Structure 1
Amino acid sequence: MPIQRFTKMYGIQDAKISPMLTDPASGTPTYGTPIDVPGIKTYEISGEVEVKTLRGDNKKLDSFSALTNVQVSITHAKMSLDVLAAIIGGTVTDSGTTPAQKTKWGLTGSGATFPAFKLEGVTPPNGTDIIGGDVHVVMHKLTCSAFPDLGFAEEDYRIASFTADASPLISTDEWMDVVINETAVAIPSS
């Protein structure tokens, strides 16, 4: 007997971004090593629908609706230079020796490419109706739709965030997957 197809969604425990390497017309997309989104707080998905209405004889005769965009909004507690490089481009470099080490994310005009990436988030175990289970939400191909919110906040923590638009994969036409697992499964690390 299959597991139930509905569940509560409580909390988010982890999220990872995987840079998209290829999306061939025939074949399977490939991704780089997943990067942790540190301190993930929210993973929100919304969609835009275009509706066309046919009117005649002074009344509504029919309507047609089509999904035109899916957008993801993410907030996370800690800024990550690796996440910035994965979602808007640029490079991260490490230099120096203790006690003068530093790491730097740099963005140049030619490096501001807004590359495609995959995003996967997961509830904590028991964050679903199934005891010991979890829910994964996978967006297969995203591209940032605005510059990420960064900066500082006076006498408070600054929460990092970004928004991205989904596109269907060229190779498989997939946009997203929502997976309910009977037994909790970690987001793959490779």
Structure 2
Amino acid sequence: MPLQRFTRVYGIKDAKIAPLTTDPAAGSPTYGALIDVPGIKTFEISGDVEVKSLRGDNTKLATNSAITNIQVSVTHAKMSLDVLAAIIGGTVTDSGTTPAQKTGWDLTGANATMPPFKLEGVTPPNGVDIVGGDMHVVLHKLTLASFPDLGFAEEDYRIASFTANADPLLSSDKWLSIVLNETAAAIA
């Protein structure tokens, strides 16, 4: 018997991004190494639909709708230099030895490439109706829509966030996938 096709959705346990390295029209996309989005808090998907109505004879004759954009907004509790490099570009470098080690991210006009990337989020086990199961949401090809929210907050934690727009993959035409698993599975 197949799994039910509806569920409640509770919480988010993990999210990872992976740079999109190739997307051939004939073949399969390839992605770089998974990068953890640390302290994931929210993963919100929205979209835009363009609606055209045809009128004539003083009445509505037809309506046509088309998806014109899918967008994701993500908030996460910890800022990651590796995430910044994957979604904006730039270079992360490590230097020094203990006790004077440093790691830094540098963005220049030449390396601010806004590369495409994949984003996947998952509920905790039992975060869906299926006992022991989970739900994965994958946006296969994203590009940053605005500069990430970074910085500081007086006497408070600063939550990092970013918004990205989805495009369909050239190889499969996929924008978004939602998968319910009977047995919870890690992002792979």
TM (normalized to structure 2)?
0.99
SS at match of 2:157: coil
The 5-angstrom pairing of residues 1-190 of structure 1 reads 1-188=1-188
Separation in 2, partners of 1:96, 1:76: 28
Query: How far apart are residue 58 of structure 1 and its match?
Result: 1.3
Query: How far apart are residue 3 of structure 1 and its match?
Result: 0.6
Query: How far apart are residue 56 of structure 1 and its match?
Result: 1.0
Query: How far apart are residue 15 of structure 1 and its match?
Result: 0.2
Separation in 1, partners of 2:38, 2:21: 22
Separation in 1, partners of 2:74, 2:59: 42
Number of corresponding residues: 188
TM-superposition CA deviations, 1:47-93 (whole Å, max 9, x none): 00000000111111110000000000000000000000000000100
Separation in 2, partners of 1:69, 1:115: 18
Separation in 1, partners of 2:119, 2:91: 20
SS at match of 2:48: strand
TM-superposition CA deviations, 1:115-148 (whole Å, max 9, x none): 0000000000000001100000000000001000
Ranges in structure 1 where 5+ consecutive residues have no aligned partner: none
SS at match of 2:129: coil
TM-superposition CA deviations, 1:4-30 (whole Å, max 9, x none): 000000000000000010001111000
SS at match of 1:83: helix
Separation in 1, partners of 2:171, 2:133: 30
SS at match of 1:2: coil
Separation in 2, partners of 1:148, 1:113: 14
Structure 2 residue identity aligned to 1:23: D
Separation in 2, partners of 1:110, 1:145: 19
SS at match of 1:84: helix
Deviates more, 1:53-62 or 1:101-110: 53-62
Ranges in structure 2 where 5+ consecutive residues have no aligned partner: none
Separation in 1, partners of 2:25, 2:181: 30
SS at match of 2:11: coil
CA-based RMSD of the aligned residues comes to 0.4
TM (normalized to structure 1)?
0.98
SS at match of 1:173: coil
